[in-house]
Structure 1
Amino acid sequence: MDALITAAALALAKGDPLGALKRVALRDDAPALALRGIAMAQLGDLVRAKALLKSAARAFGQKEAMARARCIVAEAEIALVSRDLTWPQRALEKARETLQAHGDLMNAAHARNLQIRRLLLIGRLDEAGRLLAGFDPAPLSPALRAAHELITAGVAIRRLRTKTAHAALARAEQAAREAAIPALVAEVENAQRVMKAPAARLIARGEERPLLLDEVEALLASETLVIDACRHVVRVAGEAVSLTTRPVLFALARALGEAWPQDVSRAALLAYAFRAKQADESHRARLRVEVGRLRVELKELAEVSATDRGFALKPRRAAEIVVLAPPVDEQHAAVLAFLADGESWSSSALAIALGTSPRTVQRALEALAAAGKVQSVGRGRARRWMTPLVPGFPTILLLPGPLPGS
């Protein structure tokens, strides 16, 4: 590696993309193209970065397998940050295997981190956990250790293991400060702020209050019967009944839970569950059928009993019933939750992450855009969606360790 390439690589490792570009901006050899691509990615020009890295990979060719694999890893990170969830993961796995075989453990670990981050993004926690298991971050660079600990915290947060998440974020903060990369430090600080923000609302006895994540964890571990409107599950002390595919039953359960220990009138239940403004005999008959189905589903956890004016929920073992609701009740809250990360998303990527059809996501985005809650840029396949005026910092883009041509 010549002196200019070495100097550019060191500048990138310190988070100084402009310093790197000053040294290789006018060069078109393969190592320079790769370094320019990484620099442009750090500056936020992901389209140009992707093109440069593709050119670098072609320039390296099959004979320089390790350098080519590093370019593929960098391209995979750009795809992840730009929320291109259709990017071929098999190519990343092959690149990781190549780097591992050639002894480039740093970039192999970086590739593994990217694989886990993608799994985390689309909610495949079991697979992400398996890849994390047995992974020792000690040999990694400070920047890579910080990224690894952020992933560990992300898995722990989604599994409601707050002590594990806090510990991982503390390690991530220490590693980020060792790396001395401002964007990485900011990313860790942003994750720590998430832990201090309300994660849900508790609705009980006609009142509601916000809950932090550790309070949610304690609630779900208690003997309280929780009607979880975040996941459409009714649970108590580790035992759960999922109603994710039974929206009417869950709506009835939530209405009864919010009113507990009082009952709910038949008219109120019809309006809440069926949106029936003027109920007729067919609505009342359907209500009796759905209440019967709810009794069957919750028979181990609670009793649904008839009263003079409607129905009431009575726990079998728990002393109290509460409703755990999202921080904000919004028809398309799941879509907004993904867009809140500050990145621009395509509708197809959102559909993959949400596990739903692209048309369903498109209808939600159109409704949110009409309400001024989201905005789009581009047209056709290049169209991307984001929330307007989202504060925050770009995700760190850094290919660690030896760079192409070393």
Structure 2
Amino acid sequence: MDSMITAAARLLATGDLLGALKRVALRDDAPALALRGIAMAQLGDFARARALLKSAARAFGPREAVARARCIVAEAEIALVSRDLAGPIKTLASARAVLEAHGDRLNAAHARHVEARRLVLIGHVDQAEQLLGDRDATRLPPPLRAAYELVIAGIAIRRLQTKAARVALQRAADAAMQARIPALVAEVESVSRVMVMPAARLIARSHERLVRLEDVEALYASDTLVVDACRYEIRDSSARVSLASRPVLFALARALCENWPGDASRRDLIASAFGGKEADESHRARLRVEIGRLRSELHAIADIKATGEGFALHPLRAQAAVILAPPVEEQYGSLLALLADGEAWSSSALAIALGTGPRTVQRALEALATAGKVQAFGRGPARRWMIPSIPGFPSTLLLPGPLMNG
């Protein structure tokens, strides 16, 4: 590697993008193309960056497998940042294997972090933790150590382990300051704000208030039955029941909880679960069937008893019943929660993150665009969707679930 490439690489590592570009801007050899691609990515021109990295990977010869693998890892990171979650994941894993086989420990670790970040983003927390393994992050240089701790913090946040998340974020902040890379410091600060922002609304006996992540964690550990409209489950301190694939049952459970400790009328339950304005005999018959199914699902947590007017929820162990709802609740709320991170998403990436069909997501996006809540740019495969960030709407807690309307 010549001195100009070496100097550009060092400047790039310290965040001096313009200095690095000055040294390679007029060169078209493979190393220069790769460095230009990384610089353009950090400047935010993702399309140009990916094109340069693809050209660099092709330009490296057959004996330069490590260099090609590094280009693939860099391209995969750009795909993650630009929310192209349908990128070549197997190719990234193969590139990581090449780097590990050739002893490039640092770039292999970087590849692993990129894979883990994608897994956390789409809610596969256990797989992300397994991929990271029990590695000693203290041996990594500050930039990689910060990236590692950010993944650890993301896993802890998804699991509502706020103490572990704060510790990991502090380590990430320390490493970012040592790295002296402003973009990395800003990323750590952005994630840290999630810990103090409102994460959900707590609704109890017709009263509601905003709560933070640590409040949600304490609520889960308390003697309270929680109807969780963020994750579509009902839980107490000892057990939990997921109703993510049973929207009618979840709607009934929420309606019952809204009226706890009193009962919910049959008319209100039918309106909540079936959308029926008039409670005719067919609605009443279906309500009895669905209440029976819900009673069966919740047998370890609560009982549902018939009353003169309707039905009432009776927790078996908990002393209270509350609803945990997103800070902003409306149709396509899970979709808006993902878009609220301010990044530009493809519809295919949103479908992957939500665990639903691409056409369902496309219909939802079209409806939101008609209402002026999202905007699109680009055409065909390059089409992306985004919205201005919604205050108090962190998507890290609001795990995308399959319960979508539309």
- The verdict on a shared fold, with TM-score over 0.5 as the criterion, is yes
How far does the alpha carbon of each residue in 1:39-61 deviate from its partner, in whole angstroms, 9 at most, with x for none? 11111111111111111111112
Q: In the alignment, what sits opposite 2:174? A: 174
- Alpha-carbon shift at residue 390 of structure 1 (Å): 7.5
TM-superposed deviation, 1:133? 2.1
Cα deviation, 1:141-167, whole Å, max 9, x if unaligned, reads 211111111110001000111111000
CA distance in 2, matches of 1:374, 1:135: 41
Counterpart residue number, 1:197: 197
Structure 1: distance between partners of 2:264 and 2:167:
44
- Mapped to 2, the partners of 1:388 and 1:375 lie a distance apart of 9
- Distance in structure 2 (CA, Å) of the matches to 1:91 and 1:315: 50
Q: State whether residues 220 and 237 of structure 1, in contact with CA within 8 Å, keep that contact through their aligned partners in structure 2.
A: yes
Query: Does the residue aligned with 1:202 lie in a helix, a strand or coil?
Result: strand
- Write the letter of the residue equivalent to 1:356: T
Contact between 1:243 and 1:249, CA under 8 Å: does it hold in 2?
yes
State the 1:281 CA deviation: 1.2
| Equivalent in the alignment of 2:397 | none
Q: Which residue of 2 aligns with 1:399?
A: none
Quickly say closer, same or farther: Cα 1:265–1:389, change in 2 above 3 A.
Answer: closer
CA distance in 1, matches of 2:137, 2:62: 30
Residues 340, 388 of structure 2: 8 Å contact kept: no
Preserved CA contact (<8 Å) 2:340 2:389: no
Given that 2:37 and 2:49 are in contact with CA atoms closer than 8 Å, whether structure 1 keeps it comes out as yes
Partner in structure 1 of residue 17 of structure 2: 17
Query: Any idea what SS the aligned residue of 2:317 has?
Result: coil
Deviation at 1:372, TM superposition (A): 1.2
Secondary structure, counterpart of 1:138 in structure 2: helix
Q: What is the deviation of 1:271?
A: 1.3
Distance, in Å, in 2 between the alignment partners of 1:389 and 1:129 is: 28
* Rounded Cα–Cα distance in structure 2 between residues aligned with 1:173 and 1:57: 33
- CA deviation digits over 1:11-46, x for unaligned, max 9? 101111111111110011111111111111111111
Partner of 1:404: none
CA distance in 2, matches of 1:390, 1:161: 24
Q: What CA distance in whole angstroms lies between the structure 1 residues aligned with 2:243 and 2:99?
A: 45
Which ranges in structure 2 are unaligned for 5 or more consecutive residues? 392-406
| Structure 1 runs not aligned, ≥5 long | 392-406
Structure 2 residue identity aligned to 1:73: V
Runs (4 or more) in structure 1 with deviation over 4 Å come to: none
Q: State the partner residue of 1:65.
A: 65
Distance in 2 (CA, whole Å) between partners of 1:99 and 1:230 is: 40
Structure 1 pair 273–389 and aligned structure 2 pair: CA distance change class (3 A): closer
Q: What CA distance in whole angstroms lies between the structure 2 residues aligned with 1:390 and 1:261?
A: 34
Aligned-partner Cα distance in 1 for 2:390–2:313: 42
Q: Which is bigger in relative contact order (C-alpha 8 A, separation at least 6)? A: 1
SS in 1 for 2:278: coil
- What aligned pairs does 1:256-275 form with structure 2 within 5 A after superposition? 256-275=256-275
Is 1:295 matched with 2:295? Answer: yes
Matched with 1:402 is none
Within a 5 Å distance, the mapping from 1:361-400 to structure 2 comes to 361-388=361-388
Question: Partner residue of 1:317?
Answer: 317
State the Cα distance separating 1:253 from its structure 2 match: 0.8
What is the distance in 2 between the residues matched to 1:75 and 1:158? 26
Counterpart residue number, 2:3: 3
Q: The residue matched to 1:28 in structure 2 has which SS? A: coil
Q: Where does residue 32 of structure 1 map in the other structure?
A: 32
1: CA distance, partners of 2:388 / 2:243:
34
Which residue of the partner structure matches residue 353 of structure 1?
Answer: 353
SS at match of 1:313: strand
Q: Residues of 2 paired with 1:6 and 1:52: CA distance? A: 18
Matched residues in 1 for 2:67 and 2:346: separation? 30
Contact 1:375 1:388 in 2 (8 A): no
Supply the distance in 2 between the matched residues of 1:58 and 1:176 (Cα, whole angstroms). Answer: 33
Aligned-residue CA RMSD (Å): 1.3
TM-score (norm 1): 0.94
Shift of 1:389: 6.5
Count of paired positions:
391
TM-score (norm 2): 0.94
